[in-house]
Amino acid sequence: MTAQSSARIYRGTPRDLARLSRILRGGGLVAVPTETVYGLAANALDAAACRKIFRAKRRPSHDPLIVHIHSSAQLEMLAEPNDAARKLAQKFWPGPLTIILPKRAIVPAIVSAGLSSVAVRMPRHPLFRKLLERTGMPLAAPSANLFGYVSPTSAEHVANGLGNKIAHILDGGPSAIGVESTIVDLRDPHAPRLLRPGAVTRRELERVLGTRIRLPRKTRNDRAQISPGRLPRHYSPRTPSVLHERISPSAPTRAPATEAWVFIAKPRDVSGQNIFWLDDRGQLSGAARRLFDVLRKLDDGRFTRIHFERAQGGGLADAINDRLKRAAGKEPSKR
């Protein structure tokens, strides 16, 4: 079920960008395209504007926001970068990498869930970069959807989910990557920790830093989070979902036709109106790009249950599996 949208969708002309930048400087909200997923942006230095994000998304205050910047000077304004952060920024920015650092006093507490750190990213999407430059300020922008639901990768997704809660959506086309940014904690540069996998892989981070990247510690749902995307159930369709290590070709034939089955690659040995896949050839970049779009379509398809197959391998497979595990709310079954 989708919301009745009253939001206006903008094409990103110079006139549109000028208007949207004025709205943002005036404390308003604008849904924006990024290369990862669409975000809901507000002036990151305006606590009242950022509170509007939490209200529109129904987002709990203990889940922090990622701040998007246009220049390295803005990083210095917001955070206390170290040599490790500068190395990663030089290699991967603009791009799908978020870095956690000690924050400066200019960052409102609501942006960082009251913690002494801030999450910062320099996005690559050309239209969003133009808007950041025109606005002249860092923009806090979590995913532009109701909290906990499947992230949006198109302006249409945003309109369907938040169109009755926000007024302005900048259309930058389908998201090129399709899953949220990699998040690395560099508060202690000698003990970097991967908080969320994404298109920038753990191996790539380790190669640049020359040190092992640790995995995150478990976190409590009711505590302030060091970064977004760490709750056990997140990115979740409303339809009950199950993640499988592998799906055998015979499994769908033994289940009701009202259950949907999602393979990473197009299956050869099974077909039907309840059979879906993320990429014809099983390429991980294509699977990541289509993941959230497929989840949304299945959620609107009146299925009683959705079965996912775990992606195999490392790198981008880690990001896909992280989203699928949280969508299902548990570890994969061995079916």
Would you kindly state where each structural domain of the chain is located, as residue ranges? 8-209, 241-328
At residue 146, the pLDDT reads: 95
Each residue of 283-315: pLDDT tens digit?
Answer: 999 999 999 999 999 999 889 999 999 999 988
Q: Does the pLDDT of residue 335 top 70, yes or no? A: no
Average pLDDT estimate for 244-264: 93
Please give the share of the chain, as a percent, with pLDDT higher than 90.
85
The CATH superfamily label for domain 8-209 reads: DHBP synthase (3.90.870.10)
Cα distances (angstroms) measured from residue 208 to each of 90, 195, 216, 219, 313 = 10, 17, 19, 27, 21
Question: Are 261 and 252 spatial neighbours (Cβ–Cβ below 8 Å)?
Answer: yes
At residue 221, the pLDDT reads: 55
How many Å apart are CA 168 and CA 182, to the nearest integer? 27
User: Which residue did the predictor score with more confidence, 332 or 179?
Assistant: 179
Question: Are 204 and 318 spatial neighbours (Cβ–Cβ below 8 Å)?
Answer: no
Q: Does the pLDDT of residue 222 top 60, yes or no? A: no
Average pLDDT estimate for 61-90: 97
Quote the pTM value: 0.94
Q: How many CB atoms lie within 10 A of CB 282?
A: 16
Please report how many Cα atoms fall inside a 13 Å half-sphere around the Cα of residue 67, on the Cβ side. 34
At residue 5, the pLDDT reads: 79
